[in-house]
Chains A and B, each alone.
Chain A
Amino acid sequence: MALVNVTINGVQVQAENGALLIEVAKQNGIEIPAFCYYEGMSLQAACRMCLVEVEKAPKLMAGCTLPVAEGMVVRTESEPVVKARKTTLEFLLSNHPLDCPVCDKGGECELQDMTFKYGVGESRFTEIKQHVPEKQWSPVVFYDAPRCILCYRCVRVCNEGMGVGALGVSYRGVNAEIIPSNGDHLECDECGSCIDICPVGSLTSGIYRYKTRPWEMEHVGTVCTHCSNGCKTTLGVRNNEIVRGNNRDKSGINGEFLCVKGRYAFDFTQHPERLQTPLIRNAAGELEEASWSRALKLVAEKFKALAGPDFGVIGSTRTTNEENYLLQKFARTALGTASIDHHRTGDVVTLIDSLSGKTGQLATAEDLYTSKAVLVVASDLSQQQPLLANKIRANVRHHKAAVYTVTPGPVREDKIARKAIRIAEADSLAGVEQLREALSKEAELVIIYGDAIQGEKVRQLVAFGESLGIPVKYVALVDYANSRGALDMGLLPDLGPGYHATAPGRSLQQMLDDPKLAALWVVGSNPLKGGKSLASTNAFVVVQDLFLTETAQRADVVLPAASAYEKNGTVTNVCGQVQRLKKGIETVGSKADLAIIGLLARGMGVNLGKVDADAIFAEIAASVPGYNQLPMPVILTGGAVQTHPVNGGVPPSSVPGIIASARDTLFTTGSLTRYSKILNEVLEKPGALYS
């Protein structure tokens, strides 16, 4: 686009013709104050805070909607501008309750900041202010109309950002206020984006309200522990309690996006049923509290005695890469078993094999925002992969991306899709084939697929993509925070770290079904969920978990484990992007899985080297293909880096295993979310995919 010369406050700058003045000023280090302007969302021109003087214009102009043009001369700090800002703030505060001392937002409120910087500091009004009582719209969303400055950010983030459209404006004039589209309550994603984006304390969060002043919190940047998307979140921690999750600093792959789980479902850490002491099954057959030393000693002795090929190990989709790596290493060496697996939720392995010899064909989350076209196969993305869905919506909004869906039932993406094909999951590939002509006309494509596409179907899908004659990237969807890391780290019965062939052992299902199994060590997983039982009634079972799950109830020893919010390490998201976890709070009674593995090894007299997250990550980086050459500074400073998995093909599997997504909805992600009080509150109905 052509460049034009614009003069701002006497300084001549160059800018793209037609760019918005407010952005041009920002690029040149000049602030034009704004409330309703919000980068990436539709323009409003409502708050009038951004008025500036433009030469030859008869009146002050709104900088947020003014496209720059050649020769434009702008003043942002002239006397009329300064006065206009003061008066706008005066108007804004005229009906504002100014209850800063009891307002959640106090201390990080844009209205406070603007008043501090641009305001007059005194009020000229004496009449009574407009007042309406506060309303509660859902367990997590409260609205205080008097504090609302009607910037419409909440309305837009819900409509444009979330694709939900649960908020609107009601009444007019000074009575205008934000209102849920269905009257008095929200039936929405409960994502809290509206609360997050509100510049003032008008929208407040049901779980953060009145808990703290912002400056009394510590802010810990880590990664959400629920789904596989890997949203960066900043935990607000006060007195060793997480009181808030957000990503206001827009660091990480998710910008400021968080879904309901990332925003609120950290409260499982405080759940009363959280295990705080080890449990050992006593002579009466009951689980009984025991000290760590007794429990560790017992387990170490038993492990030593039972080590061998009949020992089974089931790893986790939420524990860190370091923990997963160490677990499989310990199992394959010290325990002498090849029977190691985890709950697999998507066929990444076949995808990697199908793409062997090719590079750069695994999409990142960012690719979903930039690619000119996206094809979604057999996934209810907005429910199962909220961040990826959000990226696609933003892509459509900002770049008019072409979206195609092939799903068994209605999905939110249908609304923005060029073509939506409704077809049974089993026939997905036939649905995809119907799109061949349209897709081959696109400049590029990202194909994302759910667990219905596995094995041979993955190969067919890749063959389809490669036959389109355009650049195509892929994402194999998986469920949980470190599902991808569990695969990469070799929690598989026949593949070690980096998808390298190892001696075959039992798959998860085979372990459960084998009456000869001597021991089963379950780390952060619940394979007996839903009434399943263990065929081997004599197996010695050790479970590491946060809660007394169905599997833990069958255990001989239960070791209380730390959650992702309580430890350091790295996780790998659905797109293979590695990010760093940072410990937010200290645990009470429980220990990180990494520490537990280390202590058991010590108890068995096995030397695992230095058992510390950084040291083990260094070992991963040195030995696991794909994890070498990762730019560490990026990861250490909270960035995300995509791995480059094997390029030489994955050996065919000899062990039949099961790949099945848990088909969680937006409000659930495995066992953890069952222990989130807030998720249970917002979840009125169980909800269903494709509905």
Chain B
Amino acid sequence: MKLFNEPSPLETKIISFRFGLENSASIDTYLAHDGYKALRKALEISPDDIINELKASNLRGRGGAGFPTGMKWSFVPRASEKPKYIVVNADESEPGTCKDRLLIQHDPHQLIEGCLIGALAVGAKKGWIYIRGEYNYLIHIMDKAIAEAYKNGYLGKNICGTDFEFDLYTHTGAGAYECGEESALLESLEGKRGVPRIRPPFPAISGAFQSPTLLNNVETFSSVPAILRMGGQAYADLGVPRSGGTRLVCMSGHVNKPGVYEVPLGFPLMKFVNEIGGGVWKGRALKAIIPGGSSSPLLKAEECDIPMDYDSIAKAGSMLGSGGLMVMDETTDMVKVALRIMRFYQHESCGWCIPCREGTTWLKKMLQRVSDGHGQTRDIDLIGDLAQNMMGRTFCPLGDAAAMPTIAIVKKYRNEFEEYVARNPFASPELVSIA
């Protein structure tokens, strides 16, 4: 299968090393390249040993929140009257993010193997891969891989000749960003309206069909086989303390070589843009970077000299999030960026809670007006204030995700808003007395 972008020699290919191999999605290719070896290893050790390896690996969730995976797996109760489930979050909808799609397209068996190891670790017998509706073609690839795995004894009963059994299914979403939020995903999986649930309880305790559920991102599960093969410690050592291993970073925007690249955590951000990405396009200067998907506050060029790991980016006031890195050159209009981002969240707000439902709408309307040249002086503060009023008050993090970038843009590029407003001759209307 043709690759999305040319690989870079600066990459550390741990989970993407099969990308580009001939027939990389087939089980034969997979088996020929270390496929299902980690599973055999996992079958020989205890569930606790698997979880300890994961804990040692410092793997953190690749879906956005960056929660330590080993810890999450250990939350699933050992003893449970109810069946336990595996759910893979393949809803990948965060603007700027397009890595899960490659993992499924090029290496679906790696994901299946990750699920199998997860199932062994928590004692699950059934799992679903929840794939966003727009990724229809991936469902066919995944279904084909699942069929192959059944045929070759890696799914179903007596896996690898043991009494381990596991069934895996694909399930399609209908095209809602919110259904990537884990609890909304579970509602949707159960056939209900995709709105979030009250938490706690978290999915590990009560997830799909009120049963303990291990829910992780595609990339998180796909990283598990490598961890078992190379050992948790060795994997951790690739990254930095508290952020182990490698991750796929999806670079888009004004760069010369956009694409998905695998680098160790802690890889320097500017080196990533300049050396792997070939620098800002058209010889222009860098203006800002969104480091982790549209929800993460953007960093001004001068704030970008940092390593790409969870803690360093958090210290700079943003998030590593889902690995969707967007580069903006000096010509970028920040009012339009704010509007474009808000249009997305306004369209995707599920409507369950008031601050997000109303906040995203009004922010969009106001940003639209400012961008249309009808902004008024007081709008700038009002936009910042409304975003602040959503922050931390919504039912699920989507509201925060909409507020955070807005707050950051208004704060960091207030002058651009002021320039828009200044062009409006009616920007500061005087109060007219009606008497």
Q: Which residues of A contact B (CB under 8 A)?
A: 43-49, 51, 58-60, 62, 65, 84, 87-88, 90-92, 94-95, 124-125, 127, 130, 149-150, 168-169, 171-176
Kindly list chain A residues whose C-beta atoms are within 8 Å of the C-beta of B394: 48
Choose among B352, B360, B361 the residue that contacts A46 (Cβ–Cβ < 8 A).
B352
Check if B230 is an interface residue, CB within 8 A of chain A. Answer: no
Tell me which of B176, B354, B392 contacts A172 (CB under 8 A): B176
A173 with B355: CB separation less than 8 A: no
Shortest Cβ distance from residue A24 to the other chain B in the assembled complex, whole angstroms: 18
Shortest C-beta distance, B41 to chain A (Å), equals: 40
Could you tell me the distance between the alpha carbons of A563 and B362 in the complex, rounded to whole angstroms?
A: 54
Contact: B361 with A47, CB < 8 Å? Answer: no
Can you name 13 A-B residue pairings with CB atoms under 8 Å? A44-B198, A45-B395, A46-B353, A48-B353, A48-B393, A87-B389, A92-B354, A127-B366, A172-B348, A173-B360, A174-B349, A174-B351, A174-B358
Cβ contact within 8 Å between B393 and A94 = no
Counted as pairs of residues, one from A and one from B, with CB atoms less than 8 Å apart, the total is: 93
Please indicate the chain A residues that have their CB under 8 angstroms from the CB of B357 in the complex. Answer: 91, 150, 173-174, 176
Q: Which residues of chain A are within 8 angstroms of B350 by Cβ–Cβ distance?
A: 172-173, 176
Tell me the smallest distance from the CB of A171 to a CB of chain B, in Å: 7
Query: Would you call B382 an interface residue if the criterion is a C-beta within 8 Å of the partner chain's C-beta atoms?
Result: yes
Do residues A175 and B354 form an inter-chain contact, with CB atoms below 8 A? no
Given A91-B354, A175-B351, 6 more A-B residue pairs with CB atoms under 8 Å apart are A84-B393, A87-B389, A91-B357, A94-B362, A127-B362, A172-B348
Residues of A within 8 A of B353 (CB): 45-48
**Taking CB as reference atom, which chain A residue is nearest B347?**
A173
Structural contact, A127 and B365, CB atoms closer than 8 A:
yes
Q: Complex formed: what's the CA distance from A31 to B369 in Å? A: 39
The yes or no answer to B411 lying at the interface (CB within 8 A) is no
How far does the Cβ of B173 sit from chain A's closest Cβ, in whole Å?
13
Tell me whether A48 and B395 are in contact (CB under 8 A): yes
For the complex, give the distance between the alpha carbons of A264 and B228 in Å: 68
CA A48 – CA B351 in complex, angstroms?
13
Please provide the chain B residues from 180 to 196 with a CB less than 8 Å away from any CB of chain A in the complex. Answer: 193, 195
B349 touches which one: A51, A58, A172 (CB < 8 A)?
A172
Is B346 in contact with chain A by the CB < 8 A criterion?
Answer: yes
Complex contact A87–B355 (CB within 8 A): yes
List chain B positions with a Cβ less than 8 A from chain A: 176, 178, 193, 195, 198, 346-355, 357-362, 365-366, 369, 382, 389, 392-395
CB distance from B185 to the nearest CB of A (A): 15
- Interface-central residue, A43, A45, A174, A175, by most chain B CB under 10 Å: A174
User: Which residues of the partner chain B approach A169 to less than 8 Å between Cβ atoms?
Assistant: 193, 195, 351
In the assembled complex, the CB of A225 is this many whole angstroms from the nearest CB of chain B, namely: 40
Is A88 within 8 A of B393, CB to CB?
yes
Task: Choose one: B193, B346, B366, B382; the contact of A173 (CB below 8 Å).
Answer: B346
Structural contact, A173 and B349, CB atoms closer than 8 A: yes
Q: Which chain B positions have C-beta within 8 A of A65?
A: 198
Residues of A within 8 A of B392 (CB): 58-60
Nearest B residue to A176 by beta-carbon distance?
B351
CA distance in complex: A175, B352 (Å)? 11
Chain B residues with CB below 8 A from A130, complex form: 361
How many Å lie between the Cα of A149 and that of B357 in the bound state? 11
B433 CB to nearest chain A CB (Å): 18
- Whether A173 contacts B348 in the complex (CB less than 8 A), given A94-B362, A127-B362, A130-B361, comes out as yes
For the complex, give the distance between the alpha carbons of A235 and B365 in Å: 45
Query: B382 and A124: CB pair below 8 A?
Result: yes
Whether the pair A59, B351 counts as a contact (CB closer than 8 A) is no
Closest 3 CB pairs of A and B: A176-B351, A59-B392, A91-B358
For A171, the chain B residues whose CB sits under 8 A away are 351
The reply to whether B369 and A127 contact each other, CB–CB distance below 8 Å, is: yes
User: Which of chain B's residues has its CB closest to A149's CB?
Assistant: B354
